[in-house]
Structure 1
Amino acid sequence: MNAVVDVGAVQGKILRVNLTDGQITKETVPGEVYTKYLGGRGAGAYYLNKEVAPGTDPLGEDNKIIFFNGPMAGTMAPGNGKINVTFKSPLTNTYYYSLCGGHFGAELKFAGFDGIIIEGNASKPVYLFIHNDEAELKDAQALWGKTIPETNKILKEELGGDHSLKIACIGPGGEKLNRMACITAELYREFGRGGGGAVMGAKNLKAIVVRGTQDVNVASPGKLANYVKELYKEFKAHPKVYARRWYGSVEMLEGINKLGFWSTKNFSEGYFAPGEEMVGPKMREKIVVGDGSCYSCPIACGKISQVNSAKYGKILIEGPEFETVGLLGPNCGISDWETILKATQILDHNGIDTISAGAVLSFAMEAFEKGIITEKDTDGIDLRFGNGDGLIAMLEKMVKREGLGDLLAEGVKLASEKLGAPELAMHSKGAAPATYDPRGCKGMALTYATSSKGAHHMYSPTMGVELAGDRFAEKGKANLVRDIQMQMAVVDSLGYCSTMRFVYTVDKQVDLFNLATGLNYSKQELLEVGERILNLERLFNVREGFSRKDDTLPKRFLEEAMKEGPSQGQTIDLQSMLDEYYQAMGWSEDGIPREETIKRLGLY
């Protein structure tokens, strides 16, 4: 299909960068990328399926990194700051996508491109510099080994002191092929989880630097402006928006802990008593010194936090987010902000995902307490739950890939298998779950198990709906999970932050999309795009050998009942939930999309 030249908001061009031969070309985007997949996450799925062959080594030359904006990026629509990156994951060996906020996505759109496809491997470290229509590869050997803040500082100085440059880069974590390494934009915004930073590291690509000054032209600017004006009134009046603005994502902590499904001590418990002193208002009072916002966001949920530590000195970061607090905090038995902020700073500076790191560290702590690993293995580090000094010491070893830390840098699945303790590893398909224990919110169990990229809460965040109903019910959750999965595929492909869903109903998303692009989609047509994306992601994994056997959860969730609290006695009957879900999706009993489903959605 030829490019659709009459679609508003999109630029219609991508950059293709071959690191092996240094060639950079500009390509017109096929029209179906917008009409059938919208852009963003959907476009990433389209290109990855088309261009990355089955069996590709995630850290090999043939894997690709695909950055792609949604059509709403760079427009006046609130909260459009999310850009998507897609790759085959070295952590899970599955299809993987990750979203990043901040200003990097909008800047790429202003440079005249909807996306970038990175392929091949460079023979030495390089970075990509994009300035409007021009792009070039530049020597990055002097940057290799530098942390995220150091890299940002050096690049801005090297490129004329222009602080408006937007930079996405990797730290030592990605360079050392840590399978949990992320790609960091603007110091504290991450394409987190899945190991995208390791893919960039394997390709010797240190950074992408963007500066753009071009316009983004929408189809109906006047009508869109009026619609947006009314939306801002809704954002201003919404009570949930107020809570998120004041406390950030940590506003969720209190409710999850009181209901007894907050990850505690490697998901062995669901309530963390010291957590009552970590709730949003307490965090705001004790450590928050400012707020941060992504491009075009009316909420500003980013929290700037600071502690003045006798042990570590002054620590100033953006965050920590709720998931980071959960995985590095109670899941490791840690309750003091000093340790949590220091651990977050180490991971942020080195470009390593905090959720995945917290999961593998909590696994190691339980293995230590059970005698599976000893101080001989840890080089004398006491790795018991609650030992902040031990957590920081092992984290430093993991960053440097020294001793046991070298193994832990492989992620919780591979590390646990090598140590002969896979039953203590909390993951699905190699990816660690978020801080919500699915025994206390059963839709999340199905979300973790069926996500194309392994356990990930945002693949279908059912918590809000479930907490308003029967969170322990299993029957009937399949349709809820499927419907929210489709909605999230749309949100991620349009380029919205998921927080916008407080105000953005699907109907409003349709209205914004049509006003920006000039297309005329119905609500059902937009949701069908979401369904198409889900099935395309699933088909990528099917060709890699994934099926029902991989849509599973740790034995702890399935067989060990919650010990106490409001979620006491709960386990998960996953198989019955999978049967119902596969039927709702139009998949076989083994989790394979049926031919009639593939045909109906226009795939292949």
Structure 2
Amino acid sequence: MIRDFFRVMMVNLTTGKTNIIERPGRNEYLGGTGLAAKLFEEFGHVDRHWDDPEQPVIFAIGPLTGYFPLMSKTCCAFRSPYHNEYTESYAGGKSALSLRFADLDALVITGKAPRLTALCVGSRRVETRDVEYMRGFDAIATGRVLRKIFPGSGRRSIMRIGPAGENLSAYACINVDTYRHFGRMGGGTAMGVKNLKAICILGDRGFALPEGKQYPKLYKHIYKQLTTTEMMAKYHGLGTAVNVKPLSELKSLPWKNLQQTSSPKAENISGETFADDTLLRNAACAGCPVGCIHVGFVREQFQTNNQYLYRQVGYDFEPIFACGAMIEVTEASDVLRILDVIEKEGLDCMSAGVALAWATEALEKGVISEKETVVKLNWGDAETYMAAVELLGRPPNEFYRLLASGTMKCAKVYGGEDFACVLGQEMAGYATGEVFFVSEALGFRHAHLDSGGYSWDQKHEEQDVTAALDFLVDDARDRIVLNCMVGCLFSRGVYNDDLLAEAMESVGYGELHGSVSEIGDRVQRLRWRLRLQMGYRPDKVKIPKRYKEITTWKGPLDTDYLEALRSGYAARILEMGAPLKDKE
């Protein structure tokens, strides 16, 4: 039954109490990122540190989850261990559909368990298990054990952390159903600090589809666009890994800690090479007909009996950039081997790869020594990088503890800030130019997906500061609307504002407080207000020197243009996040 309120499960790990609450606001905030922000505004604490037990970890889905294709993501919101401010991360897998089948719009977890714990929730069941014996288990082994502890159907989703989350790395991730992740900004540590090793969501209840002709007709129309046009073919074919070669040709692929923006060796780790040499199969999130998940295989030989072990490892562009181009690993199989270790440790692959790229250059320049790195980091040396990943996940010394808390934090202690490739967090794989660098450095999640800054750089050679800033704000708002739903951003070419409004009406949500765009603006301002209340100062953000030294196909980076964008975007953010009373 369609309802105009949110149904939220509250779990307190300290007291063991669980209850269901109902909250209004569906027509004002839709769900997903809007719902998560409203729940954090109510249950979060702007005056307490990120690791306070009462800080919530929130998982929220949208009003179209389970009703339309690619509405397959879950929003995870928390106070980040990376910068101690409000943030979000997104993941697919089966998490969203499992929450829908559990009859929940959101799950809010507070408190801290006395011992390492696994939580299982469903519409008819809430259970915690003491799993202290699993401390130190990697994320893959944890998944195997949990599937036995909490048996279930295909509507079951298992989210878990590895050693990095237990050891409170600032960029530990949450592994979701093996091949998806809440990757950035330390969601795994937000769980780890609560002694929460895993969450199993049981979709143990059905839900009715809307009656009448409007819904099935619209569903068929959307499904056809997603499956029979060329719009989504890229994602199923080579996937986002197809970006490696074009970006290198545009001199926009960060290479060797951004010492270069292209390399003839990029061909060796291109999407085409991965497909030819490593691709085992495609997979898809629940509720998605596209199948963008590319799973490669790693083969290793046992020396004792001459037999082989095959392991399956997911890949796409960002992992290839971080664990290939950024550390100059130029064999596809070696990239997958490094990613396999990162998966087990439960680290965000982009942050881990970029951190090790900085450490390699710092060692090369004499800023640090092998006393700090333990192993001798060399460009392209996959075996050494695999060992270093384990040291990041289980720090043996102060250097790795600092590096696991963020590359720039480590650089501020040891030196090498100028070549730390950090834009709010360790950078994503685009060196397209000024607009993208400012977009990621100042953006809400410091993510390449906050807005299409990388796209603007590639399409616009003119340096129109106002037009670029308008684009960053408007495109971020449009993406926020889809993140309220919570849809896959790959589908944004299909789900425009008009279609989303029609989809909402078809499932019974016809009465919205303003247009879809106005709701996006409302949520955009709420999210910025939360971050600013926790101390974010966009006007104080600095972009490291390394970014000002690069050359793209357009030529050397224009530092004056970069600074105009940086100061202008900071002013826009401060305006969007101003307290409501200042706007009255």
TM-score range relative to shorter protein: over 0.9
Q: Tell me by how many angstroms 1:510 deviates.
A: 2.0
Check whether the contact 2:121–2:202 (CA below 8 A) recurs between aligned residues: yes
Change (3 A) 1:39 1:396: same
Give the drift of 1:375. 2.1
Aligned CA distance change for structure 1 residues 221 and 501 (closer, same or farther; 3 Å): farther
Pick from 35, 40, 55: which aligns with 2:32?
40
Instruction: Render the CA deviation track for 1:240-269: whole Å, top value 9, x for unaligned.
Output: 411210111112222222111111121222
Rounded Cα–Cα distance in structure 2 between residues aligned with 1:255 and 1:579: 31
> Please, which of 563, 566, 572 is the counterpart of residue 553 of structure 2?
566
Residue by residue over 1:498-546, the C-alpha shift from the partner in whole angstroms, topping out at 9 and shown as x without a partner, is 0112322222222212222432449x72112222222112112222222
Unmatched 5+ residue regions in structure 1?
600-604
Report the equivalent of 1:602: none
- Counterpart of 2:258, as a letter, is F
How many Å apart are 1:392 and its aligned residue?
A: 1.7
**What's the counterpart of residue 577 of structure 1?**
565
CA distance in 2, matches of 1:542, 1:552: 17
Does residue 516 of structure 1 match 2:513? Answer: no
TM-score in terms of structure 1 length = 0.90
Report the 3-state secondary structure (helix = DSSP H, G, I; strand = E; otherwise coil) of the residue aligned with 1:98.
Answer: strand
Q: 1:66 aligns with which of 54, 58, 75?
A: 58
> What do the CA deviations read for 1:254-292 (whole angstroms, capped 9, x no partner)?
222211111112122211221123222222111101100
What is the TM-score of this pair, normalised by structure 2?
0.93
The residue type paired with residue 53 of structure 2 is E
Letter in 1 for 2:386: I
Amino acid at match of 1:529: I
2:288 alignment partner in structure 1: 297
1:187-586 maps to which residues of 2 (within 5 A)? 187-217=178-208, 219=210, 222-310=213-301, 314-379=309-374, 381-403=375-397, 404-429=399-424, 431-437=425-431, 440-453=432-445, 455-464=446-455, 466-470=457-461, 474-521=465-512, 525-557=515-547, 559-562=548-551, 566-572=553-559, 573-581=561-569
Change (3 A) 1:113 1:104: same
RMSD: 2.4
Contact 2:102/2:202 (CA < 8 Å) preserved in 1?
yes
Displacement of 1:422: 2.3
Contact 1:441 1:472 in 2 (8 A): no
1:157 corresponding residue in structure 2: 148
Q: How many residues align?
A: 578
Distance 1:314 1:571, change over 3 A: farther
Contact kept in structure 2, 1:59 and 1:198, CA below 8 Å: no
For 1:39, give the aligned amino acid.
Answer: G
CA contact (8 A) 2:539 2:567 kept: no
Identical counterparts, % of pairs: 23
Runs of 5+ unmatched residues, structure 2? none
CA deviation after TM superposition for structure 1 residue 424, in Å: 2.4
Cα deviation, residue 25, structure 1? 0.8
Q: How far 1:479 moved relative to its partner? A: 0.8
Q: Hey, what's the Cα distance between the residues in 1 that align with 2:192 and 2:471?
A: 38
Structure 2 distance, partners of 1:356, 1:43, is: 28
Query: Is the Cα contact below 8 Å between 1:395 and 1:405 reproduced in 2?
Result: no
- How far apart, CA to CA, are the structure 2 residues paired with 1:119 and 1:68? 15
Residues in 1 aligned to 2:104 and 2:577: alpha-carbon distance in whole angstroms = 35
| Residue-by-residue CA offset, 1:369-426 (whole Å, 9 max, x unaligned) | 11101223222x2213222232122112112212343332222122222213322222
Letter in 2 for 1:145: G
Superposed displacement of residue 187, structure 1: 1.2
1:548-592 CA distances to partner (integer Å, 9 max, x unpaired)? 3344422322x3242xx514311343332245446666x45xx85
Cα distance in 2, alignment partners of residues 433 and 85 from structure 1: 20
Q: CA deviation at 1:325?
A: 0.5
